[in-house]
Amino acid sequence: MNFKFTTAGESHGKALAAIVEGLPAGLAIDLEKINHELWRRQQGYGRGGRMKIETDKVEFLSGIRHGKTLGSPVTMIIENRDFVHWTEIMSSEKLETQPKNPPIVSRPRPGHADLAGGQKFGARDLRDILERASARETAARVACGALARQLLENFGIEIKSHVIKLGNIPEIALQKTWEEICAIEENAPLNCADQEIENLMIAHIDAAKENGDTLGGIFEVVAKNPPVGLGSHTSWAEKLDGRIAQAFMSIQAVKAVEIGEGVLNAGRFGSEVHDEIYFDENNFRRRTNRAGGLEGGITNGEELRVRGYLKPISTLRKALHSVDIETKQEDLAAFERSDITAVPAAGVIGEAMLAIVLANSLREKFGGDSLDEMKRNFESYRDSIAKY
Ligand code: EPS
């Protein structure tokens, strides 16, 4: 069975929920590791007041018994602690009178789902749209990704991320090795591998905050030790780079995805781009990894490197011009509270999405109902690759 997941929940509703299907039976699950990923997603200089309210933690409702998966769907819940302040406005009960505080949202934010979503779904209170469009939803995805990651660990695959650009700093995005990324301290303010650059990024965020503005940036996710042969060249939907791009583009505010040095490669000669092949200790290797570990939509055994480009957050304290959907008069867009930037958090979400895509590919390729069966299939494939 493939690795599948779905999330549910509104930003200020009672809770977020997720259902994950396709984990093999017998996989040991460490709840603390999942909660640690949720903690990491909440970090980062430039987050707003909401992160002081939430302490995201998972509660299992199904699929795990005595610390191991049963092979059945895993259901997870993450409480929204902020819900206590929104019980009436987010109530599932029919209300006799519309609550006054906060009022109906009628001034859509440029860059947000507010207006297009409102038009599409016929919503007169744009809260009906923004609550689900909110990146709060990604807490549930990170929980799903943390399960996927625990499967990947059994196959020797590790995933990390780092921030390589914040706004326009540095001018050329950072290029860092796996070891340099591993050396970043857990509580580094921006999950950046260069402290001097990180200080400049912090000053840039401070300036944006001062101006009531927001910032985007670029994060990079690296998967160490993926086996050769995940994904396939045979059909468009099987190409792993295509699947990764879709997974990354689905992260709120991600507007471009790059595999390896894809953007720079477009302006280089072929001789400057393609990673030459050599044979070493019974292994085919590449001298460089400008392809980011993917050729023909198939993993080639090198590190997988994927970058997500984020637009600046669309809720601005110094609000942009918009139009009130009721009066049709020009007005400033709505503002309640916002992050200045969330690029480090997006990196953690990118890790989760890459873990999910890879877990799905492993499940497709190695099948099995139990982890033991899946591992046997994996070992047998690894033996055949070693003889190639
Ligand atoms: C978000 C707006 C902010 C962010 C939120 C995403 O929430 P609020 O409106 O409650 O201040 O903090 O992100 C999260 C809550 C989170 O957990 O990441 C938005 O509009 O997308």
Q: Is residue 52 within 6 Å of ligand 1 at its C-beta? A: no
Q: Is residue 290 within 6 Å of ligand 1 at its C-beta? A: no
Tokens 């409102």 belong to residue:
118
Q: What digits encode the pLDDT tens for the residues 182-227?
A: 999 999 999 999 999 999 999 999 999 999 999 999 999 999 999 9
Cα–Cα distances in angstroms (integers) from residue 361 to residues 30, 238, 243, 350, 364, in the given order: 22, 9, 10, 17, 5
Range of the domain at 131: 4-386
The pLDDT of residue 317: 95
Q: Is residue 56 within 6 Å of ligand 1 at its C-beta? A: no
Residue 229's nearest CA partner among 150, 148, 304, 305 is 304
Q: What is the pLDDT averaged over residues 139-164?
A: 98
**CA distance linking residue 43 with residue 47, whole number of Å:** 8
Q: Residue 290 sits in a domain of what CATH number?
A: 3.60.150.10
Structure tokens at 291: 């392809």
Assess whether pLDDT exceeds 80 at residue 102: no
Nearest C-alpha to atom 2 of ligand 1 is from which residue? 338
Nearest C-alpha to atom 18 of ligand 1 is from which residue? 136
Cα-based torsion angle of the residue sequence 323, 325, 327, 330 in order, rounded to the nearest 10 degrees: 0
Residue 361's nearest CA partner among 372, 348, 373, 374 is 374
**CA distance linking residue 257 with residue 133, whole number of Å:** 20
Lowest mean pLDDT among 24-38, 275-289, 341-355: 275-289
Q: Is residue 50 within 6 Å of ligand 1 at its C-beta? A: yes
CA of 78 relative to ligand 1 center, distance in Å:
15
| Strands 4-8 vs 68-69: parallel, antiparallel or unpaired | unpaired
The best mutation among 131, 138, 339 to test binding of ligand 1, ranked by most ligand atoms within 8 Å of the C-beta, falls on 339
The pLDDT of residue 97: 84
Say how many C-beta atoms besides its own lie within 10 A of residue 74's C-beta: 25
Assess whether pLDDT exceeds 90 at residue 282: no
Q: Is residue 315 within 6 Å of ligand 1 at its C-beta? A: yes
Structure tokens at 319: 């609000």
> For the chain, how many structural domains are there in total?
1
